[in-house]
Structure 1
Amino acid sequence: MKKVLTPFILFSLLLVFTNCKNTNNNTDVSKENPSVQITDEALLDSVQRRTFNYFWDGAEPTSGMARERYHIDGEYPLDDANVVTSGGSGFGIMAIIAGIDRGYVTREEGVARMDKIVSFLEKADSFHGVYPHWWYGETGKVRGFSDKDNGGDLVETSFLMQGLLAAHQYYVNGTDTEKAVAARIDKLWRAVDWNWHRNGKNVLYWHWSPEHSWEMNFAIHGFNECLITYILAAASPTHGVPAEVYHEGWAENGAIVEPHTIEGITLNLRYQGTEAGPLFWAHYSFLGLNPTDLKDKYSPNYFEEMKNYTLVNRAYCIRNPKGFKGYGENAWGLTASYSTVGYAAHEPAERGDHGVITPTAALSSIVYTPEESMKVMRNLYSMGDKMWGKYGFYDAYSETDNWYPQRYLAIDQGPISVMIENYRSQLLWKLFMSHPDVQNGLKKLNFGSPSLK
């Protein structure tokens, strides 16, 4: 058992300490017994710090990149435990920036890590400047995601670039070392050939392979997690796509607008293949892209749309039509994660609900539903070692099946840390939205936002 402080004086001192913002040391209040009441701010900092450490202490050592997964139980489904991920590393870059800013590591340590990551990306396999989903971290050689998915992955590349552009803004006016890293990031950004992934049409395609060309044939239509892909494609100063690609491809000439009501809550957009999908659709594009009062011709307010989308997910879990154990106001959140049926994109529909709650779902929604998400965070924290490990909350659990695997996924851990920071300071939103190319891309697509100058 973890220690419990029983003397009144020591307990009082602990509470005073946890109310203080920690910026210059590595004290983790979460090392105390979860039964000890701590402030929201202290709990947020503990969760953010531990998820940051997934990308810091837990990074693949040669590349500095984020491991695709990390299993405390030691069982890996991949043929190499050091497989690294492009999209998850983009999330991790943002988590590291926030960690530097909060003093979890020094600024010098942070830029050294960013230098290592950029050095890896400069030499790693890419295809028309587009990165694959996975590499082997020791060599930078592509590790196929599937038989035909062994080349460029435009969506994962957009998640990586979202993080790199935020890092660029963090460093562009810094020391000479930091400015040099920012300049190298700019070269990586300019090398991505977004236009190539049109395959000659007014739509973006997810995959291209040197062996299989366009055989995956996966045109990206909305709404799902890929809004950021289209915005960055429009924003590129070197290989950008015309606005028509967004309007005809992503929005399908307006067919993306489909007002409907689910769980008594109104949604304005059409969600691909479902009335409301997994919650990561409300997270991945908005780690850097600030949804606050963001609008275009298809949505009058992306923040309100994503908030309602989150509330639908929560309301479904509270209604709990399949009667799973443990669902409720303190335990909700369906999204893609490990599952009792393998890996699954859990969603608020009976066919997509397997009784599995995934912490990143509610925790990464804290920008939309702060009070509701904090209840889930406190409930998870109260579960102690069953859910709380060295890199934060484990990926998923099921009370119904008494299933508590001690495993982590980069794409689930990253949004927790990033969205907690955006909730606390809006740091990553401010950085990404300040990039001149991002500003130009949003204007090109006729977006409105208070962040546009």
Structure 2
Amino acid sequence: MMAKTGQRTARDGATLDDEALLDKVQRQTFRYFWDFGHPVSGLARDRFGGDDEWTATGGTGFGAMAIIVAAERGWIERSEAVERLHRIVGFLQRADSYHGAFPHFLNGSTGRTIRFWGKDDGADIVETALLLQGLLAAEVYFDGDGREAALRGKIAGLARSVEWNWFTQGGREALYWHWSPNNGFAMNHELLGWNECLIVFVLAAGSEDYAIGPRVYHNGYAQSRTFINRRRHEGIELPLGPDGGGPLFFAHYSFCGLDPRGLTDAYTDYWRQNLAHARINYEYCVRNPKGYAGYGPDCWGLTASDSVHGYSAHAPDNDLGVIAPTAALSSLPYLPDEAMRALRHFHDDLGERIWRDLGFVDAFSETEDWYATTHLAIDQGPIIAMIENHRTGLLWKLVMRHPQVRRGLERLGFTSPHIVGV
């Protein structure tokens, strides 16, 4: 049973060293996925503070990663982790899917699709890829016999059934985000970079039965007008992406599993890309050209989150004075000193306003004296995953060992220390 969620003072964190504070934040944030996971399906609920039947497909992928971290660190028994993942994967086997791909939202009790909006009432291949990123990590991690072997078989079946090439609309050199049995490809939303979608192309290229060809990546995703940048922002050259770098989740979602260290292709070095993106975001917040309250070296991080008036993809070119803790905390591998300084401030100084039983609230604005009462799965999950990657590289090691990931990277022309000699 989950304890009642309310305000908690965080001053005790001032006496913790960095490792102990990171432990505390990871472990408490994990409660979002473990205690607040849907009681029937085990899937990650989309948000705390919303409809409890709405579960998030991509958020469940991040939740699977959180369960791995919890098992590795001894917060739960390994057998408990396996049983929760069996419940999740067994439910997904019975839930709505479309050519093997899942919708953005599922009803956590029935497994039926919940319409996101308009014609988005079918498959979402980006959410599906984020789901599989976490499940493939679990397939590698749980390498024992018995129930662990059975879990691996279930995950492999889900992954193998996704018909990635269906989403090229009959062989075009592009991937399309959505397909619906009611509306087909009517949304016509092509995946164009640079953004959070790299993991989609890697998994699609690495599929055993339904692989896309490399031209889908090179002539589709990489040909967007916002793919190549190579201009300077805040005095820093940005290899890829929109001016200012865009919201920081671009540097987090695919890289909860893909190890950017030494990862290169025809376009860039992805460690350099993500480091530049995070540094630009940080320097922009320190400069604070709009004069928002609170911004500075210990309070930074713009990404998609709840906002004062709804939800918004915050970035230097869309700065509404709203800081999301996930932005800085999930950037710990890239800017460890700056991220730890932000963590200390969020926890020790702002704790009574933003620290809760399920971790940090989604976002806040000191200018507006606004502090969210919500938590979102897609923001809580990367905090746990990216802190762990900074500390041990665990999730990077697991995902980069998976054959589908390695095939996909090689077919798209990537090099990485993980695939040398393969």
The equivalent residue for 1:192 is: 162
> 2-side partners of 1:405 and 1:275: how far apart?
25
Q: 1:35 to 1:194 in 2, by over 3 A?
A: closer
Deviations 1:392-422 (A, max 9, x none): 1111001101111221000000000000111
3-state SS of the aligned residue for 2:41?
A: coil
The equivalent residue for 1:281 is: 250
The equivalent residue for 2:361 is: 394
Which residue of 108, 128, 135 maps to 2:79?
Answer: 108
> 1-side partners of 2:118 and 2:67: how far apart?
32
**Which 5+ residue runs of structure 1 have no aligned equivalent?**
1-29
1:346 aligns with 2:346: no
Q: Which amino acid aligns with 1:381?
A: H
TM superposition shift of 1:270: 3.4
Q: Which amino acid aligns with 1:38?
A: L
The equivalent residue for 2:4 is: none
1:429 aligns with 2:407: no
The equivalent residue for 1:446 is: 413
Deviations 1:260-286 (A, max 9, x none): 100111011133xx4420000000010
TM superposition shift of 1:31: 8.2
TM superposition shift of 1:258: 2.8
Give the alignment of 1:15-414 within 5 angstroms.
Answer: 33-34=11-12, 36-71=14-49, 76=50, 80-171=51-142, 173-200=143-170, 201-252=172-223, 256-271=227-242, 274-299=243-268, 301-349=269-317, 352-382=318-348, 383-414=350-381
3-state SS of the aligned residue for 1:431?
A: helix
> 1-side partners of 2:228 and 2:304: how far apart?
24
TM superposition shift of 1:36: 3.7
Q: Which amino acid aligns with 1:178?
A: E
TM superposition shift of 1:341: 2.0
Larger relative contact order (CA 8 Å, sep ≥ 6): 2
TM superposition shift of 1:390: 0.6
> 2-side partners of 1:35 and 1:282: how far apart?
28
Deviations 1:361-419 (A, max 9, x none): 00000011111000000001112221110111111001101111221000000000000
The equivalent residue for 2:5 is: none
| Residues matched between the structures, number | 411
TM-score (norm 2): 0.95
Give the alignment of 1:414-425 within 5 angstroms.
Answer: 414-425=381-392
Deviations 1:243-300 (A, max 9, x none): 11111111128983331100111011133xx44200000000100000001000011x
Deviations 1:106-162 (A, max 9, x none): 001100000000111000000000000001100000001112001000000000010
2:163/2:210 contact within 8 Å kept:
yes
Q: Which amino acid aligns with 1:409?
A: L
1:100/1:107 contact within 8 Å kept:
yes
Deviations 1:54-112 (A, max 9, x none): 100110110000000002xxxx3xxx322100001001100110111000100011000
Q: Which amino acid aligns with 1:395?
A: D
TM superposition shift of 1:189: 0.2
1:386/1:404 contact within 8 Å kept:
yes
Q: Which amino acid aligns with 1:339?
A: S
3-state SS of the aligned residue for 1:258?
A: strand
3-state SS of the aligned residue for 2:60?
A: helix
3-state SS of the aligned residue for 2:371?
A: coil
TM superposition shift of 1:32: 6.8
3-state SS of the aligned residue for 1:34?
A: helix
Q: Which amino acid aligns with 1:193?
A: E
Q: 1:233 to 1:262 in 2, by over 3 A?
A: same
1:247/1:253 contact within 8 Å kept:
no
- Identity %, equivalent residues: 49
2:9/2:355 contact within 8 Å kept:
no
TM-score (norm 1): 0.89
3-state SS of the aligned residue for 2:117?
A: coil
TM superposition shift of 1:336: 0.3
Q: Which amino acid aligns with 1:430?
A: K
TM superposition shift of 1:437: 1.7
1:259/1:268 contact within 8 Å kept:
yes
TM superposition shift of 1:238: 1.2
1:34/1:381 contact within 8 Å kept:
no
Q: Which amino acid aligns with 1:316?
A: Y
Q: Which amino acid aligns with 2:272?
A: E
> 1-side partners of 2:108 and 2:13: how far apart?
39
Q: Which amino acid aligns with 2:275?
A: K
TM superposition shift of 1:50: 1.0
Runs of 4+ in structure 1 over 2 Å off:
30-36, 253-258
RMSD: 1.4
TM superposition shift of 1:34: 3.2
1:254/1:298 contact within 8 Å kept:
no
Q: Which amino acid aligns with 2:112?
A: K
